[in-house]
Amino acid sequence: MGVMLMAAGLLSTVKSRWVNQWLKNAHNWLLPDCCILCGRAGQRGRDLCAACACELPYLVAACRRCAIPLPQAGICGSCQQRPHSFDGAWAAFDYRPPVDHLIQSLKFNGKLYSARLLAELMAERVVAAELDMPQLVLPVPLHASRLRQRGFNQALELARPLACEFGLPLSAGLCRRLRPTVAQTGLDARARRRNLKGVFEIVSDPGVSHVAIVDDVMTTGSTAEMLAKALKYAGVVRVDIWVCARAALRGRAAKPG
């Protein structure tokens, strides 16, 4: 029975990747790629030209625990002094132009094509970083009222193509927000933690030991912390954070430990 389940899972993964590639080929034939940053012709089957790709603020060296940029990879002093509920964090980019513009255009203007491009770039960086694959991908949930207002969840729009690329299960319904929260923008670290305290609920047994939380931007890590804490309470052993971009609160200096 176990062999049959493994074979069925492998077949499902192969089919998912084949369908994903077929859709990409159809899209490229019907809609030739055009760089969404400068308008020139895109390259390698995506809406980004070579020149703009070279200017993206890839995050090269960062803290392995919280992903804050560092002069060289390691664990920052803050994480050494105060461990998190999540086990590690990774970001594809520093939250600087033009990535900040792409994320804002997705989040506040509904430019969903930005999510497709950002997810493709994230997938490439995940491979380059040789990250351990989780057993489940979990997008940070929005409260129902915010979802109705926005019409989509930007974290889900990033997580879905990532999960598809690596053949990973995705669960958008595993966790829910119990109440709406005020926007985190403009709040300091302490206010962000208060804003999110007790806001997440795991609604069913995760059934896995390793989960990757996917979000668009990580600033103080308060959202990741509260969601990771809920997952650990539900029995998950390892929680990693995958974000498109890492930002830092103004005035916080990143120092290696």
Which stretch of DSSP H or E encloses residue 167? none
Output the pLDDT for position 181.
62
Average pLDDT of span 104-115: 93
pTM: 0.81
Output the pLDDT for position 103.
96
Output the pLDDT for position 53.
94
Q: What is the DSSP letter of 53?
A: H
Q: Is 63 exposed, middle or buried (0-12, 13-18, 19+ CB in 10 A)?
A: buried
Average pLDDT of span 223-234: 94
Who contacts 101 (Cβ-Cβ below 8 Å, separation ≥6)?
Answer: none
Indicate the pLDDT class of residue 3, thresholds 50, 70 and 90. very low
Output the pLDDT for position 179.
75
Output the pLDDT for position 69.
94
Output the pLDDT for position 42.
86
- Report the alpha-carbon distance of residue 75 to residue 84 in Å, rounded: 12
Mapped onto helix, strand or coil, the DSSP state of residue 170 is strand
Output the pLDDT for position 255.
47
Output the pLDDT for position 2.
45
- Report the alpha-carbon distance of residue 21 to residue 43 in Å, rounded: 16
Output the pLDDT for position 185.
57
| Spans of all domains in the chain | 57-246
- Report the alpha-carbon distance of residue 214 to residue 228 in Å, rounded: 11
Average pLDDT of span 230-240: 96
Output the pLDDT for position 33.
80
- For β-strands 175-177 and 200-202, DSSP reports them as antiparallel
Higher pLDDT, 76 or 42: 76
How confident is the model over 245-254, as pLDDT tens digits? 999 865 444 4
Residue 71 has pLDDT above 50, yes or no: yes
Q: Is 174 exposed, middle or buried (0-12, 13-18, 19+ CB in 10 A)?
A: buried
The verdict on whether omega for the bond into residue 134 sits within 30 degrees of 0, i.e. cis, is no
Which stretch of DSSP H or E encloses residue 93? strand 88-94
CB 91 within 8 A of CB 59: yes
Higher pLDDT, 245 or 39: 245
Who contacts 102 (Cβ-Cβ below 8 Å, separation ≥6)?
Answer: 36, 37, 111, 114, 117, 118
200-228 burial, b for 16+ CB within 10 Å, e for fewer?
A: bebeeebebebbbbbbbbbbbbbbbbbbb
Output the pLDDT for position 46.
87
CB 68 within 8 A of CB 44: no
Average pLDDT of span 65-77: 94
Average pLDDT of span 145-151: 90
Question: 195 vs 94, 179, 223, CA distance in Å?
Answer: 25, 10, 9
Residue 18 has pLDDT above 70, yes or no: no
Residue 124 has pLDDT above 90, yes or no: yes
Output the pLDDT for position 199.
80
Output the pLDDT for position 43.
84
Looking up tokens 């890590």, which residue turns up? 221
How confident is the model over 153-206, as pLDDT tens digits? 999 999 999 999 999 999 999 999 887 665 555 555 566 555 566 688 999 999
Length of the chain: 257
* Residue type at position 94: D
CATH 3.40.50.12160 correct for 57-246: no
